[in-house]
Amino acid sequence: MQKKYKSILCLAAVVLFSLVAVVFADDSEFRLVVSRNSGAVGARFHVDLEMKTTTTRTLNSLTIDVAYGPELTPFATNPDSNWFAATTGYDLSVSKLGAPNNYYRVLVTGNGIGKSGAGVPAGFNVTTSWQRVVTLRWTIATLSPSYNMAMLNTTDAAAYFDNLANNPEGDLTEWATAPIAPATVKLSVKAFLQGPYDVANHNMLTGLLDLGVIPTTSPYAYDPGTVSSIPANSVDWVMLQLRSTIGGPTIYAKSLFLNKNGNIVGTDGSTATFDILTLEGLKNYYVVVRHRNHLAIMSNAGLALNETSTTLHDFTTAQTKAYGITPMKAMSDGAFALKTGDANADGGVDAIDKNSYWRPNNGTPWAYEKYSDFNLDGGIDAIDANTYWRPNNGSGTQVP
Q: What is the CATH number of the domain that holds 59?
A: 2.60.40.680
Confidence (pLDDT) at 175: 55
Q: What is the CATH number of the domain that holds 251?
A: 2.60.40.4130
Tell me whether residue 7 is in a domain.
no
Q: Are residues 148 and 212 in the same domain?
A: no
Tell me whether residue 398 is in a domain.
no
> Residue 154's pLDDT band (boundaries 50, 70, 90)?
low
pLDDT at 115 over 70: no
pLDDT at 158 over 50: yes
Average the pLDDT over each of 97-111, 294-308, 334-348, 384-398 and give the range with the smallest value.
Answer: 97-111
pLDDT at 152 over 80: no
Q: Are residues 210 and 323 in the same domain?
A: yes
219-264 pLDDT per residue, tens:
998 888 899 999 999 999 999 999 989 999 998 889 999 999 999 9
Q: Is 173 left (phi over 0), alpha (psi -120 to 50) or beta?
A: beta
Higher pLDDT, 275 or 203: 203
Average the pLDDT over each of 4-13, 57-66, 228-237, 389-398 and give the range with the smallest value.
Answer: 4-13
Q: Are residues 306 and 212 in the same domain?
A: yes
Q: Are residues 168 and 189 in the same domain?
A: no
Domain count for the chain: 2
Q: Are residues 248 and 349 in the same domain?
A: yes
Higher pLDDT, 127 or 213: 213
Tell me whether residue 1 is in a domain.
no
Tell me the range of 6-15, 124-133, 243-252, 381-390 where mean pLDDT is highest: 381-390
Confidence (pLDDT) at 11: 25
pLDDT at 121 over 70: no
Q: Which residues constitute the domain of residue 106?
A: 28-175
Tell me whether residue 310 is in a domain.
yes
Q: Are residues 212 and 344 in the same domain?
A: yes
Average the pLDDT over each of 90-104, 262-276, 356-370 and give the range with the smallest value.
Answer: 90-104
Which of residues 175, 199, 215 is at a domain's end? Answer: 175
Tell me whether residue 8 is in a domain.
no
Tell me whether residue 21 is in a domain.
no
Confidence (pLDDT) at 181: 42
Q: Are residues 190 and 152 in the same domain?
A: no
179-215 pLDDT per residue, tens:
434 568 899 999 999 999 999 999 999 999 999 999 9
Confidence (pLDDT) at 32: 84
Q: Are residues 125 and 246 in the same domain?
A: no
> Residue 123's pLDDT band (boundaries 50, 70, 90)?
low
Q: Are residues 130 and 200 in the same domain?
A: no
pLDDT at 7 over 70: no
Tell me whether residue 10 is in a domain.
no
Which of residues 124, 147, 175 is at a domain's end? Answer: 175
Q: Are residues 152 and 210 in the same domain?
A: no
Q: Are residues 250 and 342 in the same domain?
A: yes
Mean pLDDT of 271-299: 88
Q: Are residues 247 and 164 in the same domain?
A: no
Tell me whether residue 22 is in a domain.
no
Which of residues 146, 175, 204 is at a domain's end? Answer: 175
Higher pLDDT, 121 or 348: 348
